[in-house]
Amino acid sequence: RFTVFNLDQCEGLPIDAGEVSNVPDPVMTRIEADRIIKLSGADFRIGGREAYYAPAEDFVMVPPQVAFPDPINWYRTALHELGHWTGHPTRLNRDQSGRYRSSKYGREELVAEMTSAFVCASLGIAPSVRHADYIGAWLTVLREDEKAIFRAASAASKAADYLLAFGEEAA
């Protein structure tokens, strides 16, 4: 439980305590996301109709931006796939051996989606869950292991930090 006070009822707060932080410039947000994608060094391919990460060949494939009705969803999707890319043995070395719809697969999808959400939040892109077909796999994982969400969040935090470091290097 929390007690909430109206800001006007409080004394001794800094003058700017009630100010809302600036909304990030969408153009700059996209430039920063593009920079992370480029500087990651990932074999990042644009084409086709499906977005995926191919672990055996170690490349990311994402459809062209025009395939997305809302352009920002291209970035959300690209960052999701880069989340998978961070799990390669030469990077963060996560278990990506799960077959489609398996528990291992669900765990990795949860990590990738959380990675995308964390990176998006850091860049000022409002995260959104767009992968309804994975929700069943996530629920299975969460039912099987009550600590799965914490493990996924920890792995996603490491993956997000890994990706965001590429943007910091260029800054």
Residue range 35-62: average pLDDT? 97
Ordered by start, the domain boundaries in the chain are 24-170
Between strands 59-62 and 52-54, the pairing is antiparallel
Residue range 38-50: average pLDDT? 97
Q: What is the pLDDT of residues 91-129, one digit of tens each?
A: 999 999 988 878 888 899 999 999 999 999 999 998 776
Is residue 164 predicted with pLDDT exceeding 70?
yes
User: Residues of the chain with pLDDT > 90: what percent?
Assistant: 62
**Would you place residue 20 in the very low, low, confident or very high pLDDT band (cuts 50, 70, 90)?**
low
> CA-to-CA distance for 7 and 20, rounded, in angstroms?
13
> CA-to-CA distance for 53 and 40, rounded, in angstroms?
14
pTM of the model: 0.83
Phi and psi at 56, nearest 5°, equal -65, -40
> According to the model, what pLDDT value does residue 130 have?
64
> CA-to-CA distance for 83 and 67, rounded, in angstroms?
21
> According to the model, what pLDDT value does residue 94 have?
97
What is the secondary structure of 50-92 as a DSSP string?
A: --EEETTTTEEEE--GGG-SSHHHHHHHHHHHHHHHTTSTTTT
C-alpha 5 chain-centroid distance? 33
